[in-house]
């Protein structure tokens, strides 16, 4: 049995190693982690180990669509340059035969500890299908990982009464003192999401602690991919709600991401919710995960894709990217996100324009390309609308616009070159400021992450326009004053 199981993982490693070579480096993003081959989704195991940063991800190397989940693996020293490592986990045990689903990792006592969801799907002797999700542990050295012989360590018998046996996944592990803790996504007896907490002293024996928070069918239904951490004096619960109905607070239909800020009483295991909000307002952002870096920064990364809107070209041999890692802070009770500061080490060919008066559509010498960091300070108080077009040529363009009258920022990829009738446009309402706004765009070949007003809001979206579309233009309906600074990102 053990030899058969080892063969499943070895097959994935050999396949990955052989076929990665079939994809040119030029076809992939310059500084965002993406699928080495095949498909990736949720980021997993974002952690420090041996003074390097590791990121795992849900992975199916054999096709560019979702399949039985493995764990892919990469590492970095600066969050910009990523080194590909061998596949870490494969679905090769009875308890994870249908997939090694999402989870997390920590470093402890010189070991790299992975906690993940194992999925069992089988038919019993009576012909009844049995689908179960349980929590499992694997321990490794940064390259090779061995699953515990006592897996699964958290089973369905440890769920609150009435909870779903089939929706119980995505453990996020941390250590506090001598005890390990984890929060796990679950579906309660009313059919909506709840986040459960467990604790252990030895990783093998776990006990149920509490329900941290629950949806009660008010913030979507099932909550996926929880994260729970302290930031300044606040505790933050990150969730990825499914089955959401759009509302005027920024939630859109379908899968969303949200954060809940509150207070946590450790002695009584009680989390008190104070407010909640959307994390990212773009078309392609899901399942974020955070960790605390060596210098104390809380850093988050998300999956830069959408379950509902697949726009990756059919001839690509890879599918799925991660966002640029983001530094998280709290300001006035809200979560602030900004690109990892290490990106500044890769700035080249800086171009700056100050006190520009923009009315008709213009291009600016030195401002173009598909791997750039560009910041715009805009005063559009005398304008009806200000527009930026990126990834542009005579045939294609992707549009970012600001309407100062309605205080709305819009992303629109309708003319980016995708033939399918998928969702192409999304709006976000920003605070009124007499027509003034600051926009920072991180563009990397097939994506743009828009950081608004120093990270108060973020919109993340992808577009797969041919790479020869590199022009950038600016235009205004009425007069807009602007300061613009651009850096090429050369990795």
Given 42, 96, 227, 280, the catalytic residue: 42
Query: Whose structure tokens read 């008010």?
Result: 218
Structure tokens at 31: 């500084």
User: How far, in Å, CA of 225 to CA of 102, rounded?
Assistant: 7
Torsion of CA 109, 112, 117, 119, to 10 degrees: -120
Cis peptide before 325 (omega within 30 of 0): no
400 with 426: CB under 8 angstroms?
no
Question: In the 3-class helix/strand/coil scheme, how is 288-340 assigned residue by residue?
Answer: EEEEECCCCCEEEEEECCCCCCCCCCCCCCEECEECCCEEEEEECCEEEEEEC
Structure tokens at 123: 């038919």
Structure tokens at 413: 């990829």
Structure tokens at 356: 């520009």
User: How far, in Å, CA of 43 to CA of 55, rounded?
Assistant: 7
User: Residue 3 to residues 7, 90, 100, 140, 258: CA-CA distances in angstroms?
Assistant: 6, 13, 19, 19, 43
Identify whether 284 is a catalytic site residue. no
Collapsing DSSP states into helix, strand and coil, what is residue 426?
strand
Instruction: Tell me which H or E stretch contains 206.
Output: strand 206-214
Taking alpha carbons only, the member of 467, 430, 363 closest to residue 25 is 467
Burial class of residue 317 in the structure, from the number of CB atoms within 10 Å of its CB (0-12 exposed, 13-18 middle, 19+ buried): middle
Query: Whose structure tokens read 């709305």?
Result: 408
Beta bridge partners of 370: none
What's the CA angle centered on 136, arms 131 and 140, to 5 degrees?
145
Burial class of residue 69 in the structure, from the number of CB atoms within 10 Å of its CB (0-12 exposed, 13-18 middle, 19+ buried): buried
- Residues labelled as active-site residues: 42
């Amino acid at each position: 049995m053990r030899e058969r199981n080892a063969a499943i993982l070895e097959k994935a490693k050999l396949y990955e190693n052989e076929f990665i070579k079939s994809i040119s480096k030029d076809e992939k993003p310059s500084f965002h982690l993406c699928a080495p081959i095949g498909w990736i989704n949720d980021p997993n195991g974002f952690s420090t180990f041996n003074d390097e940063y590791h990121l795992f991800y849900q992975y199916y190397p054999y096709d560019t669509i979702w399949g039985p989940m493995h764990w892919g693996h990469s590492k970095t020293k600066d969050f910009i340059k990523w080194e590909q490592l061998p596949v870490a986990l494969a679905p090769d045990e009875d308890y994870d035969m249908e997939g090694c689903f999402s989870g997390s990792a920590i470093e402890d006592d010189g070991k790299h500890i992975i906690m993940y969801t194992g999925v069992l799907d089988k038919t019993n002797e009576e012909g009844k299908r049995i689908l179960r999700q349980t929590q499992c542990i694997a321990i490794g050295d940064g390259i090779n990982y061995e699953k515990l012989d006592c897996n699964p360590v958290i089973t369905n018998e440890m769920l609150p009464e009435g909870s779903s046996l089939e929706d119980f996944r995505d453990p996020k592990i941390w250590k506090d003192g001598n005890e390990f803790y984890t929060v796990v996504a679950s579906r309660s007896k009313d059919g909506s999401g709840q986040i459960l907490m467990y604790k252990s002293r030895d990783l093998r024996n776990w006990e149920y602690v509490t329900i941290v928070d629950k949806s009660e069918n008010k913030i979507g239904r099932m909550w996926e991919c929880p994260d729970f951490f302290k930031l300044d004096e606040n505790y933050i619960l990150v969730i990825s709600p499914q089955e959401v109905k759009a509302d005027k607070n920024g939630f859109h239909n379908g899968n969303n991401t949200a954060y809940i800020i509150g207070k946590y009483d450790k002695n009584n295991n009680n989390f008190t919710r104070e407010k909640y909000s959307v994390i990212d307002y773009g078309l392609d952002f899901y399942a974020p995960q955070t960790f605390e870096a060596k210098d104390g920064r809380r850093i988050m990364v998300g999956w830069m894709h959408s379950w509902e809107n697949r726009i990756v070209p059919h001839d690509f041999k890879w599918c799925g990217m991660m966002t640029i890692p983001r530094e998280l802070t709290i300001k006035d009770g809200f979560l602030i996100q900004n690109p990892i500061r290490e990106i500044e080490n890769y700035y080249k060919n800086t171009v700056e324009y100050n006190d520009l008066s923009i009315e008709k559509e213009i291009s600016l010498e030195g401002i173009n390309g598909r791997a750039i960091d560009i910041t715009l300070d805009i005063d559009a108080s005398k304008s009806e609308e200000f527009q930026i077009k990126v990834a542009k040529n005579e045939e294609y363009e992707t549009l970012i616009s600001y309407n100062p009258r309605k205080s709305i920022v819009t992303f629109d990829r309708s003319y980016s070159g995708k033939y399918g009738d998928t969702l192409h446009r999304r709006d976000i309402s920003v605070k009124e400021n007499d027509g003034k706004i600051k926009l920072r765009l991180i563009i990397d070949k097939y994506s743009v992450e828009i950081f608004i007003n120093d990270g108060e809001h973020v919109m993340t979206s992808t577009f797969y326009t041919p790479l020869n579309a590199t022009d950038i233009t600016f235009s205004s309906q009425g007069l807009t004053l602007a300061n613009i600074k651009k850096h090429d990102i050369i990795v």
